[in-house]
Amino acid sequence: MNAQQIIDIENRHTSGVYAKQTLAIVRGQGASLFDVEGNEYLDCSSGHGVANLGHGNPKVAEALYKQANTLITLFESFPNDQRAMLMEKITALVPGLDRVFFCNSGAESVEAAFKFARISTGRRNFIAAMRAFHGRTYGALSATFNKKYREGFEPLLPGFTHVSYNNIEALDKAVNEETAAVILEVIQGEGGLYPATAEYIQAARRICDERGVLLIIDEIQSGFGRTGKMFAIQHFGVTPDLLTCAKSLAGGVPMGAVLIGPKVKNLTPGVHGSTFGGNPLSCAAANAALDVMKEEDLPGQAGAKGAYLMEKLKAIQSPNIREVRGLGLMIGIEMKQKVAPYIKTLQEKKVIALNAGMTVIRLLPPLVISYEQIDHLVEVLTEVLTQTVDDGQ
């Protein structure tokens, strides 16, 4: 099929919940994507942060092939070699979190964490942050702040309160004896690429400890090396009670997980479950992906490359740029105008980027991006961002 045929078929049958691009992507390699005509694009979206290992990683592909010929699916009631290996590997990443629940996506991991918090504490209320994004299913959506995701779906779950991010006093006032858990992102992705301060995260841990409240850290987008550590929370020396993760866990194969600490109790058979959670195929992919992350020191690469990219971005002389911020290879460029026209222009110049709200360009390149590709990215961004583009208003 040619590009127009692919686009026409998808437009005819799509649910309507996605804003479709006029670009048909059929292949990926490393930090590059290729359209049906063979044109190459620098991928600075990583599928919303999924492709940390890049596209077409041979070790993940080999693991999938071997496991698909061995055993694809098996409910977790039956132990399995791939799952057992993954349980050991993933719990070793965060000392103190020695149990894990496997699921299929980030939103599912958040839903599971909420259930675990309620059954563990006997309390029903949750504190989340303004600008937070935790997913689109009902529990996750109740913790998500932006009204554009919430409108049309109320009433959402009761018991959720949002407080100002990085504001210790606001958090301290909100947490009480009815709070089951506080849920925070270490760096807000969809909310505009705002990093937490060390003082805020450490205060959140202290406040939760003082009041018998569980701390949930959402690492769905920031996890698995993206910020320069395996998990962003590790920049601050804090261990949460529940850590939600997904996206790049299995090298691009759908998979989510909740890492679980000792304060989480009452997780007995039947409290929760997932038909496909921890299936051998996804576990084999995740085992391979975690091996690659370690062997190639992808967190270290992200830290070094992120610092290099951040320095070059901050050196761009443009009256249109308000601020550059982020951590590792999770970077936001806040503009003084709406960014949709800039993102469109970047795509025309064969760079794929994301927005984070109306005025922030979000850069989430694969951690394997080369320095040459980073230099090319900066060159294109300099050309595009020093121009004032028409936002259609």
Quick check: 248 pLDDT over 90? yes
Q: What percent of the chain has pLDDT over 70?
A: 99
Q: How far is CA 61 from CA 51, 80, 117, 287, 349, in A?
A: 13, 20, 36, 12, 30
Q: How far is CA 378 from CA 49, 266, 301, 329, in A?
A: 20, 51, 18, 14
Q: Which two tokens stand for residue 54?
A: 């890049």
Asked if 309 and 377 count as a contact pair (C-beta separation under 8 A), the reply is yes
The 8-class DSSP code of residue 234 comes to G
Quick check: 159 pLDDT over 70? yes
User: Hey, what CATH class is 3-56+297-385 in?
Assistant: alpha beta
- Domain boundary assignment for the chain: 3-56+297-385, 58-295
Comparing 392 with 326, which gets the higher pLDDT?
326
User: Hey, what CATH class is 58-295 in?
Assistant: alpha beta
The crossing angle, in degrees rounded to 10, of helices 298-314 and 371-385 is 30
- Tokens 């270490």 -> residue: 186
Q: Where are the alpha helices (DSSP H) in the chain?
A: 3-13, 46-49, 58-68, 81-91, 106-121, 138-143, 147-150, 168-174, 198-210, 280-295, 298-314, 340-348, 371-385
The crossing angle, in degrees rounded to 10, of helices 298-314 and 280-295 is 60
Rounded Cα–Cα distance for residues 322 and 100 (Å): 41
Q: Which is it for strands 25-29 and 242-245: parallel, antiparallel or unpaired? A: unpaired
pLDDT tens, position by position, 33-71? 999 999 999 999 999 999 999 999 999 999 999 999 999
Task: Please return the burial class of 246, using the count of CB atoms within 10 Å of its CB with bins 0-12, 13-18 and 19+.
Answer: buried
Grade residue 392 by pLDDT with cuts at 50, 70 and 90: low
Residue 387: the pLDDT is 84
Grade residue 388 by pLDDT with cuts at 50, 70 and 90: confident
Rounded Cα–Cα distance for residues 68 and 70 (Å): 5
Quick check: 205 pLDDT over 60? yes
- The per-residue pLDDT of the chain, averaged, comes to 97
Residue 284: the pLDDT is 98
Rounded Cα–Cα distance for residues 131 and 184 (Å): 10
Task: Please return the burial class of 44, using the count of CB atoms within 10 Å of its CB with bins 0-12, 13-18 and 19+.
Answer: buried
Quick check: 380 pLDDT over 90? yes
| Overall pTM surpassing 0.95 (yes/no) | yes
Residue 391: the pLDDT is 61
Quick check: 240 pLDDT over 50? yes
Quick check: 393 pLDDT over 60? no
Q: What percent of the chain has pLDDT over 90?
A: 98
Mean pLDDT of 278-295: 98
Q: How far is CA 60 from CA 26, 50, 229, 296, 333, in A?
A: 18, 14, 21, 14, 32
